[in-house]
Amino acid sequence: MATQAVAPLSLPPLPYADNALEPVISAKTLSFHHGKHHRTYVENTNKLIAGTELADLSLDQIVTVTAGRADRASLFNNAAQAWNHSFYWRCLKPKGGGEPPTTLKQKMEEAFGSVEACRKELVNNAIAQFGSGWAWLVLEGSKLKVVKTANADTPLTQGMRPLLTIDVWEHAYYLDYQNKRADHVNAVIDKLTNWEFAAENLARFAAGRL
C-alpha cells in the first residue's frame, strides 16, 4: 500500500466517525485505539527518525529497512504498528461483512475451497495468535493465504502482500469484550469487514502495482 512520504509522519484520520462501527466496536474503543494507541506509534516513529538518515523515507520504507535489525527494534515496532493500523482502519466499514466481490470470492474458492472456509481460517488464526498480534489475508505469489503475526510483525516484510487484517491486540477489544476475543473476531468479520478494500488490494497487486 502506498503511504505518504513526508517527515514528520502524520496520523491519518479514521475513514469513518468514532461511533460508526457500533455496536461491534464502541466509540470509546475506537477513540482510544486510534487517538491514543495509533497516535503514539506515529509520534514515537517521528521521534526515532528525527535527524537520522531515515527521516525522509516513507512509512513503508522505514518498516522495510528496519525489519530484522536488532539495533532498530524500537523503530521497527513503532513504524510497523503505525503502518498496520493505517491499513487496519481501511479493512473495516459500517455495515461490512457479507459476500466478497466476485474477483476475491473466486480467489478464496481457489485457495480454500469456499468463502466460508477462508473466513474460518481468518477467525481461527485471529483466535490462535498467542498474545498480541494480527491475522491477515495475504497474497503470496498469486495465491491467497491466511497468516498470523506477533506483536508489530507484518507480512509486508515477509514477502507477502496484505489484502486484509484483523487487530487482535487486547486494546482492540478489551473495553467491549474483555477476554472474549473470539466473539470480537467473529463480529468484526461478519459485520464490519470491508471486502471491497481487500478486493481493491488484490486488483492492485494483480496489476503489478505495489
Cell triple for 113: 475451497
Q: Which residue is nearest to Fe ion (CB)?
A: 167
C-alpha triplet 26, 137, 104: angle, nearest 5°: 100
Nearer to Fe ion, 169 or 197 (CB): 169
- What sign has the CA pseudo-torsion 82, 140, 69, 168? positive
H helices then E strands: how many in the chain? 9, 3
Nearer to Fe ion, 167 or 176 (CB): 167
Minimal distance, residue 69 CB to Fe ion, in Å: 23
The full DSSP string for 99-113 is PPPHHHHHHHHHHHS
Minimal distance, residue 14 CB to Fe ion, in Å: 13
Q: How many CB atoms lie within 10 A of CB 164?
A: 26
Q: How far apart are alpha carbons 146 and 126 in whole angstroms? A: 10
Nearer to Fe ion, 36 or 47 (CB): 36
Nearer to Fe ion, 92 or 172 (CB): 172
Minimal distance, residue 61 CB to Fe ion, in Å: 22
Minimal distance, residue 171 CB to Fe ion, in Å: 5
Minimal distance, residue 45 CB to Fe ion, in Å: 15
- Contact residues for Fe ion (CB under 5 A)? 167, 169, 172
Nearer to Fe ion, 45 or 144 (CB): 45
